[in-house]
Structures are given as C-alpha cells and as structure tokens.
Structure 1
Amino acid sequence: MNRTLVIGDIHGGCKALQQAIERAEVTSGDRLIFLGDYVDGWSESSEVIRYLIEISKTQDCIFIKGNHDAWCEDWLSAEQAPDMWLLSGGKRTVESYAGYSSEEMNVHLEFFQRMKNYYVDDQNKLFIHAGFASMHGPQKEVYSSNYRWDRTLWETAVAMDKKLTKNSELYPKRFLLYNEIYIGHTPTIEIGITTPAHKANIWNMDTGAAYTGALSIMDIDTKEFWQSDPLPSLYPNENGRN
C-alpha cells in the first residue's frame, strides 16, 4: 500500500535525510511531503537540494517553503545575504555552494521558486512550515510571511487545556478548519520532546535536526515514524546552528 510520508526540517543534514528515508523503507509509490527548512545549519545544504531535485524526478514529492529557504532563494536570485541569515546558518549554506556553476545554481533557484507556501490534501489535512494567524485559514492570511514564521499556532496548541474538546467554545477556531495540521519550524526539543509531537490536532515534525535532535519522517495515516541518528553524531566536527 502506498503511503504519504511527512518529513520535518532538514537544515543541511543530507546524511540524516538519506538515513531517515532508508529507515522508512521509502518506495517509489510513496508520496513525500517536506515541510521546509532544507538549508542552513549543517554543511550539506546544497547537497540536500541536489538530492531532493533528483528524487523528485521519480517520486511524488511536495515541497513546502520555510523561512530559511526564502532567505536562500533571495541569495540565489539577487545575492542578498542579510546578517540575520548568515548568523542563522546561512554562512554555511553559502560555503556549500562553492564550486557550483551559475547553471547549477539557477537549477536550484528554480527549485526554490516552485515550492508551495502550504498544501491541503484531499482529507482536509494542512501542511505548512510554521503556521497562520487568520481564523479563516492561510488563504486569508494578511502577511504571507506568517506561513514561514508564525509560532502562535503551535504555542496555542502547547498551552491548551488538554480537557478542551472541539465542541468547547474555547477551542481555537483556527484548529477547526482542518482535520489535522502538520508543521515544522519550532523544534519539539524546546518542550523536551525528541519525537514528532502531537498537540490538539497539530503534529510538529521539527524534532531539532538543526541542533541536537534527529530528523523525523512519519506516515500520516498510521502515525508510525522513523528517525535518523542525532545530527551531531552524523557531523561530529560541526556545531549545527548556534
């Protein structure tokens, strides 16, 4: 049976990506939904993009754009490299592109430009990098940057009284728009969880691969998940994102 697998933030960890895909025993019939932040952190950002471009030629893939990807896209298109980006892992991403031809970099730029802000499947499940603030859903969002930066969706889910049900007047209206919501962006290790974290109807797939955690991939139907080794063990001579 073909599966739909969702993958959390990669942050330049190509070794972890390949390991997680191998451990999940991904087949050509599986659909892969990536939640963004492919770059910035470990030393293989350009290798991650090259790998994703290759597998997308034979695999059904959906790529969501994260905030770090938007930064990298700006750099590839106009060589804009703000200090905030360079200090947030961008410097290592720039270094990973040393030796690339302009043609190769244009291929990568086009890949970033094709990424989606969010995706809703036929089961009314939303896949978005960070979140949204509008009570009417991401399509009504005033600031499109919220797709890549919003943390209020996850913070609300974490802070909610566990006894609240969907029938309660206090249940967040945003949550009722979708059967499930899959996000990345805010590492689960911040609340002491090293695996995909489930709060209300939200699944957070960012298990801290940019820092001390592992990269996670999960079957959205069965909720079975697989993880790479913790990234520091795969890149022992690096520090990841500071």
Structure 2
Amino acid sequence: MKAVVKRISIEKNKRIIAISDIHGNLSLFKRLLKKIGYTKDDVLILVGDLIEKGDMSLKTLRYIMELSKTKEVYVVSGNCDTLWEDIKSEVDDENLLRYMIFRKNSILNEMCKELSIEVNEKSNIKFIKEQIRRNFSDELNWLEQLPHIIETEKFIFVHAGITSDNLEEQNVSEVIKNDAFMERGLAFLKYVIVGHWPTANYGREKGCCNPIIDKEQKIISIDGGNMIKSEGQLNALIIKDDENITFDSIDDFLTDEIIEYQHSNSNTIQISWMDNAVQVLKEEKEFSLCRHISSNHELWIKNDKIFKTKDGVCCYDCTDYFLSVKKGDIVSIIEKSSSQTIVKKDGIIGWVLNEKLKSGRTGKTEKA
C-alpha cells in the first residue's frame, strides 16, 4: 500500500518543533513542551510512535487529539500507531491476544482496563475487539486518518525513512519501519526528519542519545530512545529556519555532581542489541571480562547484562567508555555498581568512577 502524503505550508518565521517516539510517556512529553517554551505560535510536528511501551498511551493519545484542536499540530503515523488495524480487522486474533498479554503497557490493555475487561490467556479476543471498536471509535478513527509523510517547503517528516525523493511511490511498510535508516547510503534534496531508530544505536565507540544531523545525506534522526533504552531521553528538534536547527531534551533520571576531573579513555566500544554476541573469558563477582565476537574487542561487562540464548551468550546494551568530566558537571545517573556508575552527560553515555561523584561521599542523588 502506498504511503499517504500530507503537504502543508508553514508561515514564515514560525518555529517548528519536531518530537518523535513519545511512547505513552505523557508526563515527559508535557515537561519537554514546557521546557522548550512551546506556545500556540509554534508548529508542532509529531513524528510517530505516540503510543505503546509507556503506561499512559491512552491519555497521551487523547491529550494530543485535544492539543490538535486548538493549536497547529501535525502528526505522522509510526509503526506503533497502527494497532487500529488489528482492532478493525477480523484476522490474526490469536497473535493480537498474545501481544496484549506480552505487552502489558499497551493502549489496548488500557482500553480494556477502562472497560473493566480482564485480559488473560482465556480472554475472548473477538469480544474485546468488538468492545474496543464500540467504545473507542474516536481514538481509532483519529489514528486511522494519520498521514505517513508530511512535506513542507523545506522538510520531510516521516517516522522511519523513505527510499527516494519521490514521495508518491513510498510504501507504508517502509516508511513506518526502516531500521538504521542513516546507514543505507541515501541522500535527499530536502532534509528528512525521522524517529524510530534510537540515535544511540548508531554509536560504535560510544553511545549518544542526542539528535544526529547529517548535512550530506540531509537526514536528521531524533529518536532519543525514550521508553526503549535504559538511558533514553525525549528529544525536541527546534527549527527556526533551515540554517538554525537546535534541540533540547529531557529525561527522568536522578542527577549527581562531579567532584573531581576524569579523563576519557580510547579504544572503546558501544554494544547494542543488533550485534551483541559475546564470549565470557573471565567471570568475577560483579563484572566479567568478555570478547565481543564480531569486533574481537575485549571489555568488562556487568554480570546482570549478560544472558544466554539458544545460539550462545549475548549482552544487553553496554559500553566500556569512560566519560571526560570535570568538577561541577551534572550527570544523569543510569545505573550504579560498587566501583563505577554508568551516567549520561549532554546525551553521551559512559562510566564515571564512584569516587568522582558527590554521592560517592554523601550517598545522595537528586531529581533533575
């Protein structure tokens, strides 16, 4: 099926705010809008995946529906926003029920909760679908009418990516789910702004959750990994004109203060789920020395990040990069160990020795 393209004209000198992958995290979305000073004079473009994974998908959807009635708000559909298809169709009911049981934080489960319908292995999925269709027609219809691509005079907004500048020939399946879009070697006439793929996934030596602007390809990737990555954040791309593009971000982490300088290290690696096979070389109480199979790189990995599969041993997202920090820096605390802490500073993920942190002496961290 061909993607639906919506073309809009934006009044000159208006600020464009682009946010992707809210994933039902309504509180963070509201905090981000407040942080960037969002007003009725701005144009807000939401680049898909409004729902799923967070615990307030239904409230998030309704909030955005109401916001679009009074402000200039445009939304494109992401792959997580297409659940209306499963509810309106009469096929694949067993897989839909399995999805609802697996994905506890789903808008479908929230709808059932609002209707006092219990969801379990014995649930009548046809009855559930009928009740959702009957009671949530406004929400389902709103999601169904979303375009897949929005084009302005200077920008293209699409959830996951496009295959060429010919927008009329894009297929829905490719524009809502196009993994590692920036690595496909494509270049475009207008800037293409996408979400879907957390920007930290592009890191090889270290991960960073900030938007990536590639001026040669004319691609801007803005998914900060909110609700997907343990270190994720929600990003807002702020466009004043095509020469003035900045961003702001927000997360839910506690913060800590650096009390002593730390150098960064070299020859490091950022491992993400696409290439996470490892071999355990030496196991100790809290960390194990491992070899990353594809790169042959050796690093110490926290034991709770290592797991076995039918094909071998793998690890969750991890790194051996130590951040460069100076006294007075404020960092977000991701996860502590006995000797070092994984933190985020200005969107960059890395380790800091506990002795460099104020909490290493006081034992206290603060909310950002």
Tell me which interval the TM-score lies in, with the shorter structure as reference length. Answer: 0.7 to 0.9
Pick from 114, 122, 137 the counterpart of residue 166 of structure 2.
Answer: 137
- Out of 199, 204, 209, the position equivalent to 1:194 is 209
Q: Which region of structure 1 is more displaced relative to structure 2, 39-48 or 145-154?
A: 145-154
Note if contact 2:160-2:179 (Cα within 8 Å) is conserved in structure 1. Answer: yes
- Alignment correspondent of 2:250: 228
The residue number in structure 2 matching 1:21 is 33
Q: Deviation at 1:132?
A: 2.1
The 8 Å contact of residues 21 and 196 in structure 2, kept in 1 or not, is answered as yes
Distance 1:50 1:129, change over 3 A: same
Higher strand share: 2
Contact kept? 2:20, 2:50, Cα under 8 Å: no
In the alignment, structure 2 segments of 5+ residues that lack a partner are: 1-12, 116-130, 256-368
Alpha-carbon shift at residue 136 of structure 1 (Å):
4.7
**Relative to total residues, which structure has the larger helix share, 1 or 2?**
1
- The answer to whether structure 1 residue 42 and structure 2 residue 64 are counterparts is no
Match for residue 175 of structure 2 among 144, 147, 151: 147
Alignment-derived partner of residue 51 in structure 1:
63
Q: Percent identity, please.
A: 21
Deviations 1:191-219 (A, max 9, x none): 21211112331111111012231111121
* Aligned-partner Cα distance in 1 for 2:85–2:79: 11
Following the alignment from structure 2 to structure 1, what is the Cα–Cα distance between the partners of residues 239 and 166? Answer: 21
How far apart are the structure 1 equivalents of 2:102 and 2:78?
13
Matches within 5 A, 1:23-172: 23-70=35-82, 72-78=83-89, 82=96, 85-86=99-100, 89=103, 92-97=106-111, 98-99=113-114, 105-123=136-154, 125-133=155-163, 135-141=164-170, 143-151=171-179, 153-156=181-184, 172=186
**Structure ranking higher on relative contact order (CA contacts 8 Å, 6+ apart):** 1
Deviation at 1:85, TM superposition (A): 4.8
Q: How many residues align?
A: 212
Shift of 1:77: 2.6
Question: Would you identify which runs of 4 or more consecutive aligned residues in structure 1 move more than 6 Å?
Answer: none
Q: For residues 119 and 226 of structure 1, what CA distance do their matches in structure 2 show? A: 22
For residue 28 of structure 2, give the secondary structure of its aligned residue in structure 1.
Answer: helix
Matching residue of 2:223? 206
Q: Deviations over 1:141-167 (max 9, x none)?
A: 3x321110123632225xxxxxxxxxx
User: Which TM-score applies when normalising by structure 1?
Assistant: 0.78
Deviation at 1:82, TM superposition (A): 3.0
Query: How many Å separate the matches in 2 of 1:122 and 1:87?
Result: 44
Matched, 1:218 2:272: no
> Is the Cα contact below 8 Å between 2:209 and 2:223 reproduced in 1?
no
Question: Quick one: which of 23, 30, 40 aligns to 1:11?
Answer: 23
Aligned-pair CA distance for 1:186: 0.5
Aligned residue for 2:64, secondary structure, equals helix
Classify 1:58/1:154 alpha carbon distance in 2 versus 1 (closer, same or farther; 3 Å).
same
8 Å contact 1:130–1:148 — kept in the other structure?
Answer: yes
Q: Deviations over 1:117-155 (max 9, x none)?
A: 1011022x110001122x4533213x3211101236322
Amino acid of the structure 2 residue aligned with 1:156:
R
Aligned residue for 1:167?
none
Does residue 185 of structure 1 match 2:214?
A: no
Encode CA deviations 1:91-125: one digit per residue, 9 max, x unaligned: 532222221586651110111012111011022x1
Task: Work out whether residues 54 and 105 of structure 2, in 8 Å CA contact, stay in contact via their aligned partners in 1.
Answer: no
**SS of the residue 1:12 aligns to:** coil
Do the aligned partners of residues 137 and 153 (structure 1) sit closer, same or farther apart at CA in structure 2, a change above 3 Å counting? farther
Rg larger for: 2
